[in-house]
Amino acid sequence: MDTMTESVIKTQMDPAGLDGFEQLRAMRDGHLPPAPIADTLGFAGFDVPERGTAVFELDPEPRHYNPIGSVHGGVHATLLDSACGCAVHSTLAVGEAYTSLDLTVKFLKAVTVDSGRLRAVGTVIQRGRRTALAEAKLYDGQDRLVAYASSSCLIMG
């Protein structure tokens, strides 16, 4: 086995024994692989500063554009969905899982490559035994609110 393979094996963790917050922190720190969507869209950053909060960043690029010359709403929605979902994920106990039940997005301002780095901040509003409600706000590089979302999630044991 080469040194690179050994290094990867040593840094990988078994997520089954971790709670949701620990899983996300392990992803952030490179001990677990990130979600493939992060690579697909080119997420620039990810953090879980505390339980119930998740932050995603992305630098808008022309590849994110829709036919009218601004960042596609699906990119906004993906950032907001990721922030809401991972905020809920950070509250899970060992052995719990979740799935999104809905996502409602409000687009407030057009985004282009000139908007600067986008930052989606997700927060759990209410966490019950079977459901959770989260919200996320998407800000541009000048810290202006450009989109808002709310999401309901089903908690599974």
Q: Each residue of 41-61: pLDDT tens digit?
A: 999 999 999 999 999 999 999
In the 3-class helix/strand/coil scheme, how is 26-73 assigned residue by residue? HHHCCCCCCCHHHHHHCEEEEECCCCCEEEEEECCCHHHECCCCCECH
Residues in the chain: 157
User: Which residue in 2, 55, 1, 48 sits closest to 23, CA to CA?
Assistant: 48
The mean pLDDT of the chain is 93
pTM of the model: 0.90
Q: Provide, rounded to the nearest whole percent, the portion of the chain with pLDDT above 90.
A: 89
CATH (domain of 121): 3.10.129.10
Residue-number span of the structural domain to which 42 is assigned: 3-156
Contact 141, 116 (CB under 8 A): yes
Residue 127: φ, ψ to 5°: -120, 115
Rounded Cα distance between 26 and 14, Å, is: 10
Rounded Cα distance between 35 and 82, Å, is: 10
Q: Give the pLDDT score at 11.
A: 52
Q: Does the pLDDT value for residue 122 go beyond 80?
A: yes
Count of domains forming the chain? 1
